[in-house]
Structure 1
Amino acid sequence: MLLAIDVGNTNIVFALCMGDTIVHRWRISTSHDRTADEYAVWLHQLLALEGVSHAHIDAAIISTVVPPALFNLQRLCRKYFQVEPLVVAVGQIDLGLTIDLPNPAEVGADRLVNAVAAHAIWPGSLIIVDFGTATTFDVVSATGAYQGGAIAPGPNLSMDALYQAAAKLPRIAIEPPPEGKGSIGKNTVHAMQSGLFWGYVGLIEGLVARIAAEMPQPVTVIGTGGLATLFHRHTTAIAHVDYDLTIRGLIRLHAINTPKSLNTETEYI
């Protein structure tokens, strides 16, 4: 079984995969200081709860946008699972797509992994909107060339900045104002909900429209990340949502970079 590890700025997702199927997934907050032993204790308990032995994990792949976290995650894989993890890095693995940028090494691993998965699933030109700590807009051509994109502060990051900088404003959840309240807030909370949520919808629609206008062919827009489903319900700019897009990309990258003789499925009890 494959252990796919996606390290984001806020959370790390561990996913246990068999073939193309995501069997289990777990999430832990990202910490630069967490040791391999701490990861192991936490992960082994979760594996035990699902009736899975650590011995069933025979491969691993890591994508990280937090370089200091990489060492201990590699150590986790080597010490506790006896596998050498594949690390997503430009120039070191076969990505299955080209990078049409002056400096490919600048691109975050998560953005490339999303591009790999989306290009494999949907035909034609794509815009991938990933709602994370930052919201990224990534462009992939119909021929499989990663062409860049845009980076904006994520909704929760924007909300935190507003809460911390304005003494009288409360912390609120990212959601639209209650049904029937419209976009003109009649109290502070509704006004903040309107500005944050509908303002963000405007950002999504505006950037998607601008990027699409620069593309030679029609585009399909894919949403992923924690808030993708929420925004998808309130805008037609996003055509599809795949919450597991990054993990699917890691599965595909592992398959591309693993010899056929080793790329087999292992059954477990």
Structure 2
Amino acid sequence: MDFSGKTALVTGGASGIGLACVEQFAAAGANVVVADISGEGANAVAAKLGPKGLGFGGDLADPLAVADLFDLAMARFGRVDCAVNAAGISGNWGAFEDFPLEEWHRVIAVNLTGVFLCMQHEARIMLKQGGGAICNISSGAGFLPAPGMPHYTASKHGVLGLTKVAAKEYAARGIRVNAVCPGATLTPMMEKSIGGDAERQALMDATVPFGRMGRSEEIAAAAVWLCSDAASFVSGESMAVDGASVCR
């Protein structure tokens, strides 16, 4: 895959799957815009890329922050050829009937509204350019329910809905839109949840038919491929990258 002369934008790019996407785009020659809630983290990652990197810190559930992100990207690189919308949070668990509304709103805002806002800007730019590729990071919870996590489940199902709508709307206008649905993946978010407990990690590994959790770079490889010319006839796909956890 060759992204020389192209610009990729990655949200959630300071860690986990987003960071792995940044590294793979950069290795393939792209300019990369690294967006993250942690401006310090985003700038640190971008600094390692030299003049081909650009960091941005902001809450992508905020329409003004999203507008600033894309204004900055266009001012620096003049185009956005591909985007991976990877920013997301898992939120807290709770019983459905007692689930706190504020927790619902927080996860929906980041995981669904934030993706929607970014996709709007990405589509506007790509339509003017004559094409582009978008990959949204959903989850295995986009296919199957995650009990105790109604907010996360709804948000990741919603991301797949947005992906399919946009894929249909832009199919004849040069923009491909796909999603990757990771299974259990050993990201910093997952490591925090495990808390260094070997028994808990073993239980998580055992939920995956492969016998282990995925690695961020394995998920990123699918997302970057979907953004590449090698996937030129793929759009509207919800790709499970989960060690056979979901066999659709």
When Rg is computed on C-alpha atoms for both structures, the one with the higher figure is: 1
Shorter-normalised TM range: 0.3 to 0.5
Query: Whose strand fraction is larger, Structure 1's or Structure 2's?
Result: 1
Query: Whose helix fraction is larger, Structure 1's or Structure 2's?
Result: 2
Q: TM-score with structure 2 length normalisation? A: 0.37
